[in-house]
Amino acid sequence: MNSESISRVNVDVTEGRCALNGVLDFNTTRAALESLSPVIKKQAKVEIDLGSISSANSAGLALLIECQALAHMHQHQVQFSNIPDGLLQLADVCEVKGLI
């Protein structure tokens, strides 16, 4: 079984809050962004909870930065909660921790 067939992310949306669970990688971030974009465009403030992310790579980091850019474009706010340590370390190494 290859990683593409087992990589998945689910986005559960409630009023002003999105909870992601699963894997954030090159196979899943596009679908996650497609689910998150309408919420970010509609809601003035959105919390994105990453507490149930089991694995993430640089594509996951790019997703967080894209969410912030989208919110900024619409003069909205995105706040991330429960960011996995590995993703925070990656953001620190890439010197983009301030963007998330």
Q: What is the CATH number of the domain that holds 65?
A: 3.30.750.24
Number of domains in the chain: 1
Length of the chain: 100
Higher pLDDT, 50 or 9: 50
Task: Look at residue 1 and tell me whether its pLDDT is greater than 70.
Answer: no
Q: Domain of 72?
A: 3-99
52 with 19: CB under 8 angstroms?
Answer: yes
Question: What is the spatial distance between Cα 26 and Cα 48, in angstroms, rounded to a whole number?
Answer: 19
Task: Look at residue 60 and tell me whether its pLDDT is greater than 90.
Answer: yes
Of 21, 78, 69, nearest to 46 (Cα)?
78
53 with 60: CB under 8 angstroms?
Answer: yes
The predicted structure's pLDDT at residue 4: 41
% pLDDT > 70, the chain: 93
